[in-house]
């Protein structure tokens, strides 16, 4: 099988998809923004061919690159794994006759208001929502559903540009921060109270072949706005617990409703007083290198499973569920530059065998904003056979390992 893969060189984790495709016998042609010489010998060795473009998100450039490859040889698949690349890849697929995710489904997985309409049409529980081009429309929605409300870009990823509004006097500033005004539409949603997590799959020929469930501590919006919190994402290994049955069943319904064939999927969910609700779905892997944790927790090469499903129509391995795994993000005490660390040795002495890896930027490194994400600044990733024990260890890391900055 000949697979054209978008952006094999950036971000760094993209090379794992190329590695896995090469390992299962695919020929891979990359389309990326870096010159071929910048890819390094290992990545170049995995590639069958390479086309450089100024921007992989620029449709004419991406189309021309794919057509250039097609003139040389047959292309079986055109694949993208980064949120911003999903829709351009789908549109080029449709124009070049390559099978895979369609532009219509890619748009549904990108445009939050359209997505929510689709959810409601298919009886998938979700928050009330609308698209709004004016402040007056946002005000009318808030008056109808009540405060708080959530404002976010229509095509936002994670918590980027997302704002919770608790009072009418906060609406105007939040509308501007979320990209509204000047004819641009934003997504507006009711605030859903409850615990937040995500449900991810590897889907092959329309069926869920692998599934993973994660929890946020605390919920994303709070985590990305509060410096003193050391937020965590934890992968459970208790998927057979009765409490997850509804989530797994609903997740499969969403996959079927969207007609997803062979793809990675990423679904955000809330569970609270009003039951289980799906927040959104992406036709892509999760961010923050979450597949690394799935691999560590399940003793499984997730990238190779994805590649095997794509190339051979089935996965090759079984998830062990032996471990729970998690990441904790450690915020600097202040903005500026890192001055030092406290508690590093104590954490290694206490939990060394359970630490997968860690990132502690060198002293003198500039700090990143609190909202920059779970892998900004310092972080530690760990695993343990017992979920509750892992949570306790991650809490201890957050309490004892300090990033001193100013």
For 323-373, write each residue's pLDDT tens digit: 999 999 999 999 999 999 999 999 999 999 999 999 999 999 999 999 899
Residues 6+ apart with CB under 8 A from 363: 338, 339, 340
Say which residue, 178 or 159, is predicted with more confidence: 178
Structural domain boundaries enclosing 139: 128-190
Q: What is the mean pLDDT of the chain?
A: 95
Residues 220, 366, single domain; the answer is: yes
Closest by Cα among 98, 122, 119, 116 to 6: 98
Residues 29, 94, single domain; the answer is: yes
CB atoms within 10 A of CB 87: 22
Residue 292 phi, psi (nearest 5): -60, -40
Residues 371, 263, single domain; the answer is: yes
- Domain of 330: which CATH number? 3.30.470.20
Contact 190/146 with Cβ under 8 angstroms? yes
Q: Is the residue at 106 inside a domain?
A: no
Least confident of 171-175, 371-375, 397-401: 171-175
Element (H, E) at 142: helix 135-145
Residues 138, 201, single domain; the answer is: no
For 194-247, write each residue's pLDDT tens digit: 999 999 999 999 999 999 999 999 999 889 888 899 999 999 999 999 999 999
- Domain of 171: which CATH number? 3.30.1490.20
Evaluate if residue 264 carries a pLDDT over 80.
yes
Q: Is the residue at 115 inside a domain?
A: no
pTM of the full predicted structure? 0.92
């Amino acid at each position: 099988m000949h697979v054209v893969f978008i952006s094999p060189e950036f971000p760094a984790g993209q090379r794992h998809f190329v590695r896995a495709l090469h390992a299962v016998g695919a020929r891979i042609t990359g389309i990326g923004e870096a010159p071929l010489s910048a890819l390094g010998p290992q990545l170049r060795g995995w590639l069958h061919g390479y086309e450089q473009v100024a921007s992989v998100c620029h449709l004419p450039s991406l189309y021309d690159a794919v057509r250039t490859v097609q003139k040389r040889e047959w292309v079986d698949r055109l694949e993208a794994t980064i949120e911003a690349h999903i829709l351009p890849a789908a549109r080029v697929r449709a124009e070049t006759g390559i099978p895979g995710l369609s532009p219509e489904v890619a748009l549904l997985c990108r445009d939050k208001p359209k997505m929510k309409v689709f959810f409601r049409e298919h009886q998938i529980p979700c928050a009330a929502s609308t698209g709004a081009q004016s402040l007056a429309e946002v005000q009318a929605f808030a008056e109808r559903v009540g405060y708080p409300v959530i404002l976010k870009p229509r095509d936002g990823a994670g918590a980027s540009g997302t704002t919770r509004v608790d009072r009418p006097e906060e609406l105007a500033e939040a509308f501007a921060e979320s990209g509204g005004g000047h004819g641009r539409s934003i997504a507006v949603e009711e605030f859903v109270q409850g615990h937040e997590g995500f449900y991810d799959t590897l889907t092959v020929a329309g069926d869920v072949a692998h599934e993973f469930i994660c929890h946020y501590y605390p919920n994303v919006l709070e985590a990305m706005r509060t410096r003193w919190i050391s937020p965590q994402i934890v992968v459970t290994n208790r998927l057979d617990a009765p409490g997850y049955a509804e989530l797994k069943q609903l997740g499969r319904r969403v996959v079927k409703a969207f007609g997803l064939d062979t793809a990675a999927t990423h679904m955000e969910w809330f569970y609270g007083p009003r039951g289980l609700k799906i927040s959104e779905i992406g036709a892509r892997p999760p961010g923050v290198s979450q597949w690394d944790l799935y691999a560590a927790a399940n003793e499984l090469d997730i990238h190779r499973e994805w590649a095997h499903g794509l190339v051979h129509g089935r996965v090759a391995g079984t998830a062990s569920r032996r471990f729970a795994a998690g990441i904790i993000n450690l915020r600097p005490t202040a903005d500026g530059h890192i001055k030092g660390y406290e508690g590093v040795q104590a954490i290694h002495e206490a939990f060394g065998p359970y630490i997968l890896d860690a990132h502690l930027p060198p002293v003198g490194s500039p700090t990143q904003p609190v909202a920059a994400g779970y892998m900004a600044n310092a972080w530690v990733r760990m695993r343990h056979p017992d979920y509750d024990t892992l949570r306790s260890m991650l809490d201890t890391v957050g309490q004892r390992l300090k990033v001193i900055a100013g």
